[in-house]
Amino acid sequence: MTIHSEPIDIQVDDELIAGTLLSPSPKVPGILFVHGWGGSQQRDLARAKNITGLGCVCLTFDLRGHEKTQSQKQSVTREQNLNDLIAAYDKLVTHPAVDTSAIAVIGSSYGGYLATILTRLRPVKWLALRVPALYWDDEWNLPKQDLNRQRLVSYRQSALSPADNRALAACAEFVGDVLLVESEKDDYVPHATLMSYRSAFVSAHSLTHRIVDGADHGLSTDSTQKAYSSILTAWISEMVIGARLEKYPHHSPWYSLG
């Protein structure tokens, strides 16, 4: 077990004597993964294992309408899937090792869209969005599967602002660190959508935008999967390790990746 060591002063009479306070490892960040529409937690698991190795608690899960609840795909709404995400977040922060002030949410496509809305409802420090989708605010309780496809194509090509969209309004209020990952050859979430998201993060502490060359929406090749994993792991490493150094400056051995 790693031990956290902190030098302290102990007051006795009118003097100070030196002491060292030893305690178990400090609490660690919690990372929540949200898959896209038609996906599952399976692809997130490998990335979650790598990130757990950095010293984090990770949670992956299946939104309703997917995997074991596939039978609900025709009826599940955005409201219900947002409730799934809130429940998963609330489960993660109950883990005794999780630092509730250091939560990251990593969302892909539909999951990225839901993740932005979550930031208005729960504390999130870091937000990673891969090809985040956009949906209009109306028809919120219509089954997700019934949203008009042609209207979605047109909507996502539009230049949208926080005044136009609930998710973008959440982005405008977000004050943490952001990673935006775009696929160069995405037929579902075009460059215009990424620009709407990027422009909305006016209050973010930092914003990193990366493009996976040659990638389609679903990262259908091993090389694009690996490229995204490398981008994500490097960014999480920078954010998480930087936060630890800031919080525990006298505990450098705890940050070693070796």
Kindly report, residue by residue over 75-102, the tens digit of the pLDDT: 999 999 999 999 999 999 999 889 999 9
**CB-based contact 239:104 (threshold 8 Å):** yes
Quick one: pLDDT band at residue 178, thresholds 50, 70, 90? Answer: very high
Instruction: Please check the confidence at residue 117 and state whether its pLDDT lies above 70.
Output: yes
pLDDT at 241: 75
Domain count along the chain: 1
Whether 57 maps to a domain, the answer reads yes
Read off the CATH number of the domain in which 245 is found: 3.40.50.1820
Whether 184 maps to a domain, the answer reads yes
Whether 180 maps to a domain, the answer reads yes
Whether 202 maps to a domain, the answer reads yes
pLDDT at 254: 37
Whether 257 maps to a domain, the answer reads no
**CB-based contact 183:219 (threshold 8 Å):** yes
Whether 236 maps to a domain, the answer reads yes
Kindly report, residue by residue over 196-239, the tens digit of the pLDDT: 999 999 999 999 999 999 999 999 999 999 999 999 999 999 99
Whether 156 maps to a domain, the answer reads yes
Whether 256 maps to a domain, the answer reads no
Range of the domain at 239: 27-250
- pTM summary value: 0.87
State the chain's mean pLDDT as an integer: 90
Long-range CB contacts for residues 49-54, cutoff 8 Å, separation at least 24:
50/229, 50/233, 51/232, 51/233, 51/236, 54/233, 54/236, 54/237, 54/240, 54/241, 54/257
